[in-house]
Amino acid sequence: MSDLLVEKKNQIGILKLNRPDRMNAISAEMLGAFNEALKDFDNDPDIRAIILTGEGRGFCSGLDLKDTAAGRGIGGGLAAPGASHVSTREIPTVTLHRIDLPVICAINGPAAGYGFDLALGCDLRLISDRAKLVPAFAKRGIVPESGGTWYLPRMIGWARACEVGFIADDISPARAVELGLADQVVPHEELMGEAEEWASKIAANAPLAIRAMKRLFRHGLSEDFESHTHHVLMQLLVLFRSTDFKEGIEAFMAKREPNFSGH
């Protein structure tokens, strides 16, 4: 079977990491398939939200250290001579940050190393009451290599980021919510149902506005307030001309639910 399962369901794209025998450790094949699936969903006008989760007991145990120790796989490849040609523009964590579709992470089990960074790169995080976050980088002699050093200080502040990174203790579901690393703890059996409900609510809203909002959130992290306000106004001028804006106003006036077309 494929290392990555891809499904489309009611305007929702579902991606499931599928190496349960290795706690969904990331293989080179999985990276390539995941990157392409993210781009395909982002370019699909029928998809309005993405759910990312894992098969079996784990969400993602990180890079496949067995392959790395043997000089194969991702770590072995990056350490090899000539690996400097690898492009950061074509790795999933960069693509995940770049796409405009909202991504919900349904953390069904331990999220360690790369899996921890991968979860942080999603826009929303629901965590099973059986899961945990495992930021064990310092215990392996490395740093968060796939976004964690960028996300953590922005999400939880400098001191908390240092606490998480330097001490490197496991983070329980309740603590993850307290820190702001997860949005909600969900009973394990209800996790995917809750993720699909959140995704369905997003999909029912105006997709052009959702995509624009995510894009503006992203750009706002590196813009001053006045520049950002200018970009927001430019985006509003585009949205005001959309069919969806007209539908939103008409639905509000008629006291009915809107039916957005994405145009």
Q: Is the pTM of this model over 0.85?
A: yes
- Residue type for position 55: E
b vs e for 69-107, b when ≥16 Cβ sit within 10 Å of the residue's Cβ? eeeebbbbeeeeeeeeeeeeeebbbbbbeebebbbbbbb
With CA atoms as reference, report the closest residue to 54 among 30, 32, 71: 30
Domain ranges, ordered by start, for the chain: 4-203, 206-254
Strands of the chain, DSSP E: 4-9, 12-17, 49-54, 103-107, 111-112, 124-128, 133-134, 184-186
* pLDDT at 1 > cutoff 70: no
For residue 170, which phi and psi values (nearest 5 degrees)? -60, 150
Decide which of 210 and 78 is more confident.
210
**Considering the chain, what is the average pLDDT of its residues?**
91
Helices 207-220, 243-254: inter-axial angle, 10-degree rounding: 110
Task: Give CA–CA dist 13/255, Å, rounded.
Answer: 30
DSSP lists the bridge partners of residue 7 as: 14
pLDDT for the residue numbered 29:
85
Residue 76: pLDDT band by 50, 70, 90 thresholds?
A: very low
* pLDDT at 91 > cutoff 90: no
pLDDT for the residue numbered 69:
60
* pLDDT at 85 > cutoff 70: no
Q: What is the CATH number of domain 4-203?
A: 3.90.226.10
pLDDT for the residue numbered 84:
42
Residue 88: pLDDT band by 50, 70, 90 thresholds?
A: low
pLDDT for the residue numbered 78:
47
Decide which of 66 and 164 is more confident.
164
For the chain, how many residues are written?
263
pLDDT for the residue numbered 82:
40
Query: Are 50 and 44 within 8 A, CB to CB?
Result: no
Q: Which CATH architecture has domain 206-254?
A: Orthogonal Bundle (1.10)
| Stretch 105-115: mean pLDDT | 96
Helix extents (H) in 9-146: 28-42, 65-69, 73-79, 92-98, 114-120, 137-140
Query: Are 247 and 259 within 8 A, CB to CB?
Result: yes
The answer to whether 4-203 and 206-254 have equal CATH topology is: no
Greatest CA separation found in the chain?
65
pLDDT for the residue numbered 89:
57
Torsion angle of C-alpha atoms 168, 115, 209, 244, degrees rounded to 10? -150
Contacts of 152 (CB under 8 A, 6+ apart): 120, 144, 160, 161, 164, 165
Q: What percent of the chain has pLDDT over 70?
A: 90
pLDDT for the residue numbered 140:
87
Query: CA-based angle 117:42:133, to the nearest 5?
Result: 20
The 10s digit of each residue's pLDDT in 191-245 is 999 999 999 999 999 999 999 999 999 999 999 999 999 999 999 999 999 999 9
Q: Is residue 153 exposed (0-12), middle (13-18) or buried (19+ Cβ within 10 Å)?
A: middle
Residue 81: pLDDT band by 50, 70, 90 thresholds?
A: very low
Task: Give CA–CA dist 231/216, Å, rounded.
Answer: 8
pLDDT for the residue numbered 70:
60
The 10s digit of each residue's pLDDT in 37-65 is 999 999 999 999 999 999 999 999 998 86
* pLDDT at 102 > cutoff 60: yes
